[in-house]
Chains A and B, each alone.
Chain A
């Protein structure tokens, strides 16, 4: 192998590794939103967040105003009324911790992102961008797929 080839290979490898630099931060798997009915004012987004090399924290979510007025991080919890009846309700949460390599699932009945005041119905097959703000990794923009859940 010539010296030139070795240098080229080395540079190539460095570039490849550098371009993978993002993999140190959280990874977002299958971000999807459920289709919404014509006059439904709220929507929901689910996904799996896999922690990167270091612990991080999802501290905010954002969506373009052409999609919804705002996006909020929520958790569905059981609430027990005074007489002991179990009910389900949503609570806004400030942030969501994601440990190193930890898989945090946003799924029905648990953590989810609520879209408040949808501008238009979410139609099957369409996509939109959602910004996830992490304490350490910064903003990550993901493309959300809309589908019938």
Chain B
């Protein structure tokens, strides 16, 4: 395909895994008393306890027993707010309701293969949850707002999920920032002949009620594996 090579979308890097360093932990309020001798073991123990406390306090402890990708520490996406065009453009915040799991995807509706396959697999995973599927909310962020009009995009999302949220912003900076927070990436290029080529990372992100990504599923994850992880997460939040 002959493209003009001009990338309209950003190329985002997944956020670096945050590393706690000892230095960052030796804040005055958690330093051992200077009057007492510091053994290296004590420093290590204090550090471990402090790390545990910090991670616990953030509500971001990694969940055990999940089949999908678990990032450490779980990325906090609660700051991401996008317009929900399936709800008259009302603000949508990337945080699950208490006891719910929010599943978020970045894609576009002209994507015939990867996106519908992923949506269909998620739909099956949710159907297999029975009544508990009501505790799973789905939000789809379009990376191609130029072609995905509010009407078309809402119809697409609702074709898969009656209660699904269609998130669409016309502000490229807002979209770029949202994707970056998730570690998602996309490129939309328009060729000289008007053809549009889209590349996008194809993860489903599961978010808990504290706004952390607790697990993410790459393309090709089976509906059974998603179902198992959703069950685990719902049990945890129950």
- The reply to whether the CB of B109 lies closer than 8 angstroms to some CB of chain A is yes
Q: Are A114 and B201 neighbours in the complex by a CB distance under 8 Å?
A: no
- Beyond A39-B152, A92-B1, whether A149 also contacts B201 by CB under 8 A is no
- The reply to whether the CB of B98 lies closer than 8 angstroms to some CB of chain A is no
Q: Are B116 and A81 neighbours in the complex by a CB distance under 8 Å?
A: no
**Interface of chain B residues 175 through 221 with chain A (CB within 8 A):** 185-187, 197-202, 219-220
Q: Are A109 and B116 neighbours in the complex by a CB distance under 8 Å?
A: no
- The reply to whether the CB of A79 lies closer than 8 angstroms to some CB of chain B is yes
**Interface of chain A residues 49 through 88 with chain B (CB within 8 A):** 74, 76, 79, 81-88
Q: Are B198 and A39 neighbours in the complex by a CB distance under 8 Å?
A: no
Q: How large is the interface on A (under 10, 10 to 19, 20 to 34, 35 or more residues)?
A: 20 to 34
- The reply to whether the CB of A105 lies closer than 8 angstroms to some CB of chain B is no
- The reply to whether the CB of A141 lies closer than 8 angstroms to some CB of chain B is no
Q: Are A108 and B151 neighbours in the complex by a CB distance under 8 Å?
A: no
In the complex, 28 of the A-B residue pairs with CB atoms within 8 angstroms, ordered by the A residue number, are A34-B117, A35-B159, A36-B116, A38-B155, A39-B151, A39-B156, A40-B155, A40-B156, A41-B110, A42-B110, A42-B111, A44-B116, A76-B113, A76-B114, A81-B185, A81-B187, A81-B199, A82-B11, A85-B12, A86-B201, A88-B199, A88-B200, A88-B219, A90-B113, A112-B112, A114-B113, A115-B112, A149-B117
Q: Which residues of B contact A (CB under 8 A)?
A: 1, 11-14, 109-114, 116-117, 120, 151-152, 155-156, 158-160, 185-187, 197-202, 219-220
Q: Which residues of A contact B (CB under 8 A)?
A: 34-44, 74, 76, 79, 81-92, 108-109, 112, 114-115, 148-149
The residue on B at minimum CB distance from A91 is: B1
The residue on B at minimum CB distance from A149 is: B120
- Could you tell me the distance in whole angstroms from the C-beta of A147 to the nearest C-beta in chain B? 10
- Could you tell me the distance in whole angstroms from the C-beta of A112 to the nearest C-beta in chain B? 5
Q: Are A89 and B112 neighbours in the complex by a CB distance under 8 Å?
A: no
CA distance A20 to B49 in the complex (A): 75
Q: Are A88 and B197 neighbours in the complex by a CB distance under 8 Å?
A: no
- Could you tell me the distance in whole angstroms from the C-beta of B142 to the nearest C-beta in chain A? 13
The residue on B at minimum CB distance from A108 is: B117
- Beyond A88-B219, A148-B120, whether A37 also contacts B109 by CB under 8 A is yes
CA distance A112 to B13 in the complex (A): 29
A34 touches which one: B14, B110, B120 (CB < 8 A)?
B120
The residue on B at minimum CB distance from A43 is: B112
Q: Are B199 and A87 neighbours in the complex by a CB distance under 8 Å?
A: yes
A-B pairs, top 6 by smallest CB distance, nearest first, are: A37-B159, A89-B199, A108-B117, A44-B112, A39-B152, A42-B112
Which B residues are in CB contact (< 8 Å) with A83? 11-13
Which A residues are in CB contact (< 8 Å) with B1? 91-92
CA distance A38 to B157 in the complex (A): 10
Known: A89-B197, A90-B112. 9 other contacts (CB 8 A): A36-B116, A83-B11, A85-B14, A87-B186, A87-B200, A88-B114, A89-B199, A90-B113, A109-B219
